[in-house]
Chain A
Amino acid sequence: METLSRKIKIVLVLGFSVLFSGHTEAFSSIVANNHIVRDKRDKAIIQDHSEIDDLRRTFERGADVTATCLGCHEDTGKEIFESQHWTWTCPTDGSYHHGKSGLTLNNLTISPVPNKFACYNCHISYRWEDYTLSLDSPENIDCLICHEQTNGLYDAYRKDWNPYLNQIAQNIGRPTKRNCGVCHFNKSGGDGILRGDLSSKLLDAERGQDVHMDRTGPNMECIDCHITTNHNISGRCYGNPATLSASENKQRYDCTFCHNQNLHGSLKKMNDHTNRVACQTCHIPLISRDLYSRIWIDYSKAGQKKDGKTMLVKDKHGNKQYSTNSGEWKWAKNIQPEYLWFTGGLNYTLATDRIDPSGLVKLNGTNADYHTPQSKIYPFKVHRAMQPYDKVNNTMVLPKFTDRDKNSGAYWIDHDWNKAIKAGMAEAGLQYGGEYGFVETEYIYPIHHSVMPKENALKCTNCHKSGRGRLEKLKGFYMPGRDRSIIIDYGGAICVLLTLTGVLFHAGNCFSIAKRGK
C-alpha cells in the first residue's frame, strides 16, 4: 500500500511537471547545429597542395604519389592499415570474420573474397589487378581516390597508371561526397542499386531528397556526420554487441549527436517516440526514390543461353531482368522500408555456419525485439535471393564469379556452378562438399541516408491504425491505434447499449405509468 501511494504521488508530480515545464529540456535549433558543423569544416583549412614542390613533378605510378604523400604524412600509412577502408573487417570483431574480406556474405554479390579481380576495384589500394594485396606496403595505398579534387579526372583512370597524375596530385583536399560516392554510390555494381538510400543524386540534392545535403540549405558533406579522426571514419560497423556511442570506438554515431531528442518542439507527442522509434523510421518514409534498386536476384535461374550466347534482357527502364551470368533480377522504386527492432548490432551467418536449407536463411539479423534494452524501431531495405549453398555440409558458399585467368572456373566464364563454387571456396580457404543446391535468403540493410524533412515525414496514422499500418508485422507490444482488445471493445459497446436500452425501458415504463395515473 505504501509503495502504491508513492507511485501515485510520483505520477501526480509527473503529471504536474508535464503541465508546467513541458518537455522543454534544452531545446536546440537544428539550424544552429548545422552552422556549427559548417563552421568547423570551413575553418579547418587544408594547405594548398599545388604549392608543395615535391608534388610539382611528373609521376609515373600512383604508388609514387603515395610515396610522396607519406614523406610528409608519416603516420598515415599506419592509420590506413588499421582503418576499415583497408582491412574491410569490423574493428570491434577480434576474429576478423565480419566484413567484406571475412567470412560474412550477402545475397547480392555474395562475397568479394574469391572475386578480387572485380570486387577489389573499391579497395583503397593499387595493385588490385594482380590481386596480391601487399598489406604491409604503404605505397600501395591509394590516397588519391579519397583526396583528389579534380572532379572526375581520376575515377576513369583509377589504376596504378594515370596520364593526369601530376595534375591530380596537386589538387588535394578533404574528401567530398563525390569522393565517397565513387565507391559508395556504386556499391554492388551500379548507381543506387544496393541500398536505395545512397546514389549519385545526392551530389546535387534538393531538400526533399536529403535534408542535410540540400544544396541550397546545409549542403553537408558525408564527413560532416562520418566524423573522421586520423583516418578512423565513424560509420558502418554493425558488430554485435552493438557499439552505441562515439566514445566507445568511434565507429558509431547517431542523429542525436547533433539533434536534441526534443527538437519536435515542447509538448509534442512526437518527442515521446524517440526512446523507441529511430529518427530514420519517420524521416526516411521511402527508399530508392530517384533510382531503381534491386530487391531480388535468383541465381538458380542463371546459366541459360540463347544460340550458345550469353543473354542480357533489360526492361523499359534499362534495368536488368535476366542475365546468363546472374539469373533473374527484380527492381523497385519508392520502396516502403521494412521495420525491425534494432540496437545497432547485427548478427551474421558466416560461411562456416550451418544453415537450415528447408526454410528461409537470414544472412544477417538484428537479433532484437521490443524487450531488448535500447532497441528502437528502424527502417531496413531487405534484399531477397535464391543463392547456392553446400548440400553436403549445409553451409553457404562463396562462388567465384570472375577472374582474369580464363581457366579459373569463374561462373561468368564457364557458367558451371560446381566449378565456380569449388574455385571460390578453395580461394577463401573453406570446405566444399562437392554438391550444391539453392536456398532462399534474406539480407537486411539498415537505412540511414536520404533523410527527408518534416513535411515529408511519416504521419501518425501511417503506423497508428488498425490492420494496414506500417508496423503491422512488429508484434509483442501494445501500440495505441493499432492494437485493441476485442473483449473490452465489444464488452464496452454492449454495456453502453444495455444502459441505453435500460434507460429507454425505464422511461417508457414511467411514461406509461404516468399516463395510466392520469
Chain B
Amino acid sequence: MDCEKGSHPNSIYHRLCYWIQVGLIGFMIFTGFEIHGWLSFFGFEPAIRFHKMGFYILLIVWPVTIVVSFLFKKHHSNSSEAPIGLIVFLLQFLTGIIYLNYNYWETSGLYISLRSIAYTHTLGGFAVVVYAILNIYRSCVLPKLNRT
C-alpha cells in the first residue's frame, strides 16, 4: 500500500512497529469475531488461543512502540481520529485483560458481571473495525484521491 508519507512515522523502527501493529490488530479483529461466532476459519479453540497470543504480543509491542517514540522524539499523529483510536484500543486492552483474568475477579475484589465485560469488549470490537475503516480511508485512500 502506498500511503501518504507524513501520515505515519517513517523511520525503519516506526514503520516496523506500525505495520506489526496493523497486522496484529487485523488478526485480533479476525480471531475476535471468530470467537464471537461470526467467522469460521481457525476453529473456536485455536481462535481463542491466537487471540490470547495476539494480546501477549501487543503487550510487548506497545511498550516498545512508546519507548521507541520517546527515544526518537518523532511521535507524529497527524490524523484527527488518532485520539479516538487510542481510546478504543485502550478500552479493548483493558476489557481484554479483565476478561482474560476472569478467574481472579473474586479474589481481587472485582465485583463486575462477565456479561458487562463481554458486551463492552464486543462493542469495542465493532469500534475497532469502524476506526480501522476510517483510518485506512483517511491515511491511504483519501490522500490518493486528493492527489488526483
Q: Which of chain B's residues have a CB closer than 8 A to the CB of A495?
A: 126-127, 130
Task: Count B interface residues, CB 8 Å.
Answer: 41
Most buried by B among A267, A480, A483, A510: A480
Q: Which of chain B's residues have a CB closer than 8 A to the CB of A12?
A: 97
Q: Is the CB–CB distance between A478 and B113 below 8 Å?
A: yes
Q: Is the CB–CB distance between A11 and B98 below 8 Å?
A: yes
Q: Does B20 sit within 8 A of A, measured CB to CB?
A: no
Separation of A499 and B146 alpha carbons in the complex (Å): 20
Q: Which of B3-11, B67-75, B102-110 contacts A (4 or more CB under 8 A)?
A: B102-110
14-67 of chain A: CB within 8 A of chain B: 14-16, 18-19
Q: Is the CB–CB distance between A15 and B59 below 8 Å?
A: yes
Q: Which of chain A's residues have a CB closer than 8 A to the CB of B103?
A: 272, 275
The DSSP consensus for interface residues of chain B is helix
Cross-interface CB contact of A460 among B48, B56, B110, cutoff 8 Å: B48
Given A8-B94, A11-B97: A484 and B102 interface contact (C-beta under 8 Å) = no
**Distance of A501 from chain B, by nearest CB (Å):** 10
Separation of A12 and B63 alpha carbons in the complex (Å): 13
- Which A-chain residue is minimally distant from B99 (CB atoms)? A480
Q: Does A488 sit within 8 A of B, measured CB to CB?
A: yes
Q: Which of chain A's residues have a CB closer than 8 A to the CB of B109?
A: 7, 10
Q: Does B35 sit within 8 A of A, measured CB to CB?
A: yes
The DSSP consensus for interface residues of chain A is helix
Separation of A464 and B35 alpha carbons in the complex (Å): 9
Contact digits for B108-133, partner A, Cβ 8 Å, 1 yes 0 no: 11100111001100110111011001
Q: Is the CB–CB distance between A514 and B35 below 8 Å?
A: no
- Which B-chain residue is minimally distant from A267 (CB atoms)? B52
Q: Does B141 sit within 8 A of A, measured CB to CB?
A: yes
Separation of A484 and B52 alpha carbons in the complex (Å): 20
Separation of A12 and B94 alpha carbons in the complex (Å): 8
Q: Does A367 sit within 8 A of B, measured CB to CB?
A: no
Separation of A496 and B129 alpha carbons in the complex (Å): 7
**Distance of A462 from chain B, by nearest CB (Å):** 10
- Which B-chain residue is minimally distant from A459 (CB atoms)? B45
483-512 of chain A: CB within 8 A of chain B: 483-485, 488-489, 491-493, 495-496, 499-500, 503, 506-507, 510-511
Task: Count A interface residues, CB 8 Å.
Answer: 42
Q: Is the CB–CB distance between B101 and A15 below 8 Å?
A: yes
Q: Is the CB–CB distance between A496 and B126 below 8 Å?
A: yes
Q: Which of chain B's residues have a CB closer than 8 A to the CB of A71?
A: none
Q: Is the CB–CB distance between B97 and A14 below 8 Å?
A: yes
Q: Is the CB–CB distance between A500 and B59 below 8 Å?
A: no
**Distance of A21 from chain B, by nearest CB (Å):** 12
Q: Is the CB–CB distance between B114 and A478 below 8 Å?
A: yes
Given contact pairs A495-B127, A503-B141, a sample of 11 additional A-B residue pairs in the complex whose CB atoms are under 8 Å apart: A8-B94, A10-B110, A11-B97, A14-B101, A460-B45, A461-B45, A480-B35, A488-B123, A495-B126, A499-B130, A507-B145
Give B residues with C-beta under 8 Å from A: 35-37, 44-45, 48-49, 52, 56, 59, 94, 97-98, 100-104, 108-110, 113-115, 118-119, 122-123, 125-127, 129-130, 133-134, 137, 141-142, 145-146, 148
